[in-house]
Amino acid sequence: MIDPIFLAEAAVNGILLGGILALLALGLNLIFGVIDIVWIAYVDLVMLCMYLVYFLVQVYGWPVWAGGLASLAFGALLGVAVHLLIISPILGSAPVNQLLATGGLLFFLQSFATFLWTTDHRSVRLSLPSFEVAGIFLPLTRVIPFAISILALIALYVFLTRTFVGTAIRAVSQDREAMSLMGANPQWIYVVTSAVGGLMAGLAGTLLIFQYSVHPFFGGQFGPLTFMICVLGGLGNMVGAFVASFIMSEIISIAGVVWSTEMGYVIAFVVFIVMIFARPGGILARRG
């Protein structure tokens, strides 16, 4: 049998991972909730930001906080660029075309990254201590990103509920036409939303590069997981995505310790399929 300490450790690690997954899922959901388009290439934007932090911090010796800030800015810029160049032209198109456009971006980004940096895995080496709590090892390289992600999520919540622009973003996701009657240019709201989504991708990238190595197909690792979380939580449902992030990360973490990492993913995905069958609207959706 598995030592309960390992299970407990896995559970804790699940929570630590969940924080970052929540950033990804909420970023994707935010954009979908407002613009009605799923950015299939979202996690590939994260991948680009990870590369940026790698080069700035590991290769050029920037301090970590500077690399992080650069990643945030870069992420926001990427978000705006994607919206203006790819999303804006196809806003009125059929869903299949919209999905293909962001899908094409996925191809493009993954191959361009391969061309620029080859498929070598790269990571940033940070030697931070771990501390022990009740027999469980907690590496700071995991705890700090978790703490930051929670702070970011709180900041997002405050932004969406207390600021004019944030409330406008929520309003647009509920009734776009009515918000334009309030004097808000929907296009501008979309750009801001894309910037925020991109910023979250940038933050996620910073937090991830210290725990995982980056390579052009990183999106293949975390992308499907993010999509699964979004669907599980109910597409567009922010609270649902938050909860689902932790559910998924717990399943992966614990199953990963009991069987193997891949099996962990597989089980999480099987749970996902079952949930689709039972509650297609997402775990927090009302029945029927």
Partner 1 sequence: MVGRALGGALVVLLAVVPALPMAGMKQYVLHVMIQILIWAFIGGAWSLMGRFGLVSLGHGAFLGLGAYATVLLWNFYGLSPWLGGVVAVLLTAGLAAVVAYPCSRFQVVGHYFGLVTLAVGEVIRLLIVAERNWTGGSLGVSLKPAGGDSVVAVQFADKRVFYYAALALWLAGLWVWVRVDRSMARSAMEAIGEDETAAASIGIHVTRFKIGITVLSAALTAVGGVAYAQYIAYVNPDTLAGIGVSLRIVFAVVLGGMYAMAGPTVGTALTIALSEYLRIAFGLRLIGMAETIYGFLLIVFIIFLPAGIYGSLRELIRRRRPTPVVA
Partner 2 sequence: MSLLALAGVTAGYGAFTALWDVALRVERGEAVAVVGPNGSGKTTLLRVISGMLPVRGGTLTFDGAALTGRPAHEVVAHGIAHVPEGRRLFPNLTVADNLKMGAYLPRARTRYRETLERVFGLFPVLAERQLQRAGSLSGGEQQMLALGRALMSRPRLILLDEPSMGLAPVMVLRLFDLIRRVREEGYTILVVEQNVRQVLKLVDRAYLLEVGRIKMEGRAAELAEQDFVRKAYVGL
Binding site for partner 1 (CB under 8 A): 32, 36-38, 40, 86, 89-90, 93-101, 103-116, 118, 216, 220, 223-224, 227-228, 230-231, 235, 260, 262-263, 265-266, 269-270, 272-273, 276-278, 280-281, 288
Residue selected from 93, 111, 130, 174 as contacting partner 2 according to rule CB under 8 A: 174
| Residue 182 vs 273, nearer CB to partner 2 | 182
Compare residues 2 and 182 and give the one whose CB is closer to partner 2.
182
Nearer to partner 2, 132 or 177 (CB): 177
Smallest gap from Cβ 179 to partner 1, in A, equals 21
Residue from 251, 253, 233 nearest 241 by CA? 233
Query: Judged by CB under 8 A, does residue 168 bind partner 2?
Result: yes
Six-digit token pair at 111? 């191959």
286 binds partner 2 per the rule CB under 8 A: no
Q: Is 135 left (phi over 0), alpha (psi -120 to 50) or beta?
A: left
Among 182, 239, 263, 285, binds partner 2 (CB under 8 A): 182
CB 144 to partner 1: min, Å:
29
Q: What is the Cβ-side half-sphere exposure of residue 243, based on CA atoms within 13 angstroms? A: 13
As measured in angstroms, the least distance from the Cβ of 175 to partner 2 is 6
Q: At what angle do helices 42-53 and 64-82 cross, to 10 degrees?
A: 150
> Which region among 12-20, 37-45, 183-191, 212-220 touches partner 2 (by CB under 8 A)?
183-191
| CA distance linking residue 108 with residue 230, whole number of Å | 23
Per the structure block, which two tokens stand in for 204? 């996620």
Query: What letters, b where the CB count within 10 A reaches 16 and e where it falls short, cover 183-206?
Result: ebebeebbbbbbbbbbbbbbbbbb
Q: CA–CA distance from 148 to each of 4, 67, 158, 203, 239 (Å)?
A: 28, 15, 15, 9, 19
Residues 6+ apart with CB under 8 A from 274: none
How far, in Å, CA of 271 to CA of 152, rounded?
Answer: 28
Q: How far is CA 99 from the centre of its chain?
A: 18
Partner whose footprint covers residue 168, from partner 2, partner 1, none (CB < 5 to 8 Å by kind):
partner 2
Cβ proximity to partner 2: between 111 and 185 the closer is 185
Q: Is 177 in the site for partner 2 (CB under 8 A)?
A: yes
Smallest distance from partner 1 to CB 20, Å: 19
- Residue 180 binds to partner 2 (criterion: CB under 8 A): yes
| Cα atoms in the 13 Å half-sphere on the side-chain side of 32 | 23
Which ranges in the chain belong to alpha helices (H)?
Answer: 4-35, 42-53, 64-82, 95-117, 140-162, 164-174, 176-181, 186-209, 218-233, 238-258, 261-278
Instruction: Confirm or reject binding of residue 183 to partner 2 (CB under 8 A).
Output: yes
Dist. CA 244–CA 18, nearest whole Å: 9
Q: If contact means CB under 5 to 8 A according to the sort of partner, which of partner 1, partner 2, none does residue 178 touch?
A: partner 2
- Told to check if 158 binds partner 2 by CB under 8 A, we report no
Residue 92 is a binding residue for partner 2 (CB under 8 A): no
Which of the choices partner 1, partner 2, none does residue 171 contact, using the CB cut-off of 5 to 8 A by kind? partner 2
Contact residues: partner 2, CB under 8 A: 164, 167-168, 170-171, 174-175, 177-186
